[in-house]
């Protein structure tokens, strides 16, 4: 098969994924605990009136769907970057300490500053994610060889464990903090302030741009650091660019929606089956598949459980069997 045929095939697959995403978005707006006809959805968006169905569509379902798309794009792309930079097929975006850094900042905002507004959480969560990932990168770079996949993974695990222990110590002594933290920590795109969409969109866009710029370097890093250096690739700069993209993407999604497990872990494996190992295709495909999977899980929770199951819970229920399958497939269960 020629290079042109391969590119046409992947472009066709990408177009199909975008079409599927559009269908899921429409379903997310129209379906739920209360189904709304497509004609009413159209009128609600383009010819709004004060009727209840229009208010549901415009004030609840459209913002929820848009936030789900942004979070899914961010976590899907971040998952592909994370697995590529750590060379670990079971890595997820939280491995760099981003998730726990955001959670720690949110806990401080609640317990120390007395903030309970979800809209304010995004700035604390994002700042915590940035600081945690910076600390992880600096710790991983200590030594003569700089940040490597192994040192980044070990530093991320250590920082995450430390922050998790501190978080537990703080919230266990504060009932109000525990309740607010539990509501945020479950992972959800429901009940969020619509203004959050505009707040995280620039960070997601910047993260996706950095991710695309990072993909040629990731193809080289996949051959090994020594080979990459021999080919003229500046490994440290490439890895720093990847960490920056992961931080922007994961930090924005986690700050707005809370930690959503398994999405960044599973999506790259599905995308790789379509795109192959080329990160120039794998990262965009992972982003689109992340949005599709997140919206599908959220829609399933709304339809099956009358909106009582948050997307974080649904993805955990769906993700555990797939995770076990991946462990067995990779032969890691014997380690």
Percent of the chain at pLDDT > 70 equals 91
Residue that wins the pLDDT comparison between 223 and 252: 252
Q: What is the pLDDT of residue 191?
A: 77
pLDDT greater than 70 at residue 99:
yes
106-131 mean pLDDT: 78
**Position 331 pLDDT exceeds 60:** no
What does the pLDDT read at residue 295? 94
User: Does pLDDT of 127 surpass 80?
Assistant: yes
Mean pLDDT of 84-89: 81
**pLDDT tens digit sequence for 269-317:** 899 988 888 899 999 999 999 999 999 999 888 887 666 678 888 888 8
Mean pLDDT along residues 228-236: 75
Highest mean pLDDT among 41-50, 160-169, 184-193, 207-216: 207-216
- Tell me the per-residue pLDDT of 235-270, one tens digit each, with 9 for 90 and over: 778 888 988 898 889 888 888 888 887 888 889 989
Q: Which residues contact residue 108 at a Cβ distance below 8 angstroms, ignoring those fewer than 6 apart?
A: 124, 128, 170
Distance CA 102, CA 187 (A): 13
Q: Mean pLDDT, the chain, as a whole number?
A: 83
- The pTM of the full predicted model, rounded to 2 decimals, is 0.89
What pLDDT sits at residue 146?
62
Return all residues near 321 (Cβ < 8 A) that are at least 6 apart: none
Contacts (Cβ under 8 Å, ≥6 apart) of 313: 186, 187, 301
Q: Is 28 helix (H, G, I), strand (E, B) or coil?
A: helix
91 has pLDDT over 50: yes
The band of 76, judged by pLDDT with boundaries at 50, 70 and 90, is very high
Range 160-175 average pLDDT: 83
User: What element of type H or E holds 208?
Assistant: helix 195-221
Contact 292, 20 (CB under 8 A): yes
pLDDT over threshold 80, residue 120: no
b/e sequence 167-201, b meaning 16+ C-beta within 10 Å? beebbeeeeebbebbeebbbbbbbebbeebbebbe
Domains of the chain: 3-330 (1.10.3470.10)
């Amino acid at each position: 098969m020629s290079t042109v045929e391969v590119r046409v095939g992947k472009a066709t697959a990408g177009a199909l994924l975008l079409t599927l995403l559009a269908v899921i978005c429409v379903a997310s707006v129209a379906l739920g605990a209360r189904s709304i006809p497509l004609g009413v959805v159209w009128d609600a968006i383009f010819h709004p009136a004060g009727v209840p169905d229009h208010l549901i569509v415009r004030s609840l379902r459209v913002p929820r769907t848009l936030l789900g798309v942004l979070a899914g794009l961010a976590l899907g792309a971040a998952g592909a970057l994370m697995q590529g930079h750590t060379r670990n097929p079971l890595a997820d975006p939280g491995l760099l300490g981003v998730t726990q850094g955001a959670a720690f900042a949110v806990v401080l905002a609640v317990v120390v500053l007395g903030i309970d507004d979800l809209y304010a959480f995004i700035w604390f969560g994002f700042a915590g994610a940035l600081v945690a990932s910076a600390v992880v990168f600096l710790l991983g770079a200590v030594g003569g060889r700089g940040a490597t996949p192994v040192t980044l993974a070990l530093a991320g695990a250590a920082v995450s464990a430390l922050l998790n222990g501190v978080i537990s110590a703080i919230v266990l002594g504060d009932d109000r903090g525990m309740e607010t933290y539990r509501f945020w920590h479950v992972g959800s795109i429901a009940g969020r302030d619509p203004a959050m969409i505009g707040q995280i969109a620039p960070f997601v866009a910047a993260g996706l741009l950095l991710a695309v710029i990072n993909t040629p370097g990731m193809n080289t890093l996949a051959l090994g650091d020594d080979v990459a250096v021999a080919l003229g690739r500046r490994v440290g700069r490439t890895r720093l660019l990847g960490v920056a993209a992961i931080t922007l993407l994961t930090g924005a999604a986690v700050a707005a929606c809370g930690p959503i497990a398994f999405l960044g872990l599973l999506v790259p494996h599905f995308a790789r089956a379509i795109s192959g190992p080329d990160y120039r295709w794998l990262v965009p495909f992972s982003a689109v598949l992340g949005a599709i999977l997140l919206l599908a899980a959220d829609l399933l929770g709304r339809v099956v459980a009358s909106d009582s199951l948050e997307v974080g819970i649904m993805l955990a229920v769906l993700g555990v069997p797939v995770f076990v399958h991946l462990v067995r497939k990779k032969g890691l269960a014997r380690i």
